[in-house]
Homo-oligomer: A and B are copies of this chain.
């Protein structure tokens, strides 16, 4: 109920992001690195978030979101991802350009705005990077993808998302013609460097390095 600041919202989002790719509590240092601040500043903030009942925090023990904190984090992530869809689908930005803008737009406080934006965009299920958009109630849909790197020759799958969100990775995919939604078929895997020879169905052949393949998510 108490109002959460711009900065507090960013911490919640960051705690969620770190927690979702490991298990156990999130460390102060990990947060300091992600938020580009110092550990001492993080400790300050953790006390405030704990006072507001948004995280479980015991000193020296790391931190975990409360139910309320997780719900809040997910509504912010929902806003972020909806704005990304808007920027790409409606304004024609590239998927490598939208992160910074969405970081700001996500903090605009209006539930009605989010509701209408969602309808305007036709209730998208995924953002331009293939990440699922949390529900209005603050739940993360669970999607199970495989990495392209885990496929074996002759397997075919649809490109669904990326693990690396950096502009340089996304631009590299653009340059290769690897677009979400494409169907790819693995022809060969080099036993030397694990690079893959794949075909973008129907007929576009290309090599994909292991570094790329392990950051590409596929369905099926």
Chain A, 75-97, contact with B by CB distance < 8 Å: what is the 0/1 string? 00000000000010011110001
CB pair B116–A110 under 8 Å, yes or no, is: no
Stretch of A55-63, A100-108, A188-196 on the interface side: A100-108
CB-CB under 8 A from A107, the residues of chain B are 104
On chain A, the number of residues with a Cβ less than 8 Å from chain B's Cβ atoms is 19
A145 at the interface (CB under 8 A from B): no
Q: A105-125: which residues lie under 8 A (CB-CB) from chain B?
A: 105, 107-110, 112-113, 116-117, 120
In the complex, the chain B residue whose C-beta lies closest to that of A110 is B101
CB pair A116–B101 under 8 Å, yes or no, is: no
A contacts with B: majority SS: helix
- Contact partner of A109 (CB less than 8 A), chosen from B97, B104, B108, B113, is B104
Q: Give CA–CA (A93, B120) in the complex, Å.
A: 12
- Contact partner of A108 (CB less than 8 A), chosen from B92, B104, B117, is B104
CB pair A116–B100 under 8 Å, yes or no, is: no
CB pair B105–A108 under 8 Å, yes or no, is: yes
Known contacts A91-B113, A91-B120; 18 further A-B pairs (Cβ under 8 A): A87-B113, A90-B120, A91-B116, A91-B117, A92-B116, A93-B112, A93-B116, A97-B112, A100-B110, A101-B108, A101-B110, A101-B113, A104-B107, A104-B108, A104-B109, A104-B110, A105-B105, A105-B108
6 closest residue pairs by CB, A with B? A91-B116, A104-B108, A101-B110, A101-B113, A91-B120, A105-B108
Sample (8) of A-B pairs whose CB atoms are under 8 Å apart:
A91-B113, A91-B117, A93-B116, A97-B112, A100-B110, A104-B107, A105-B105, A105-B108
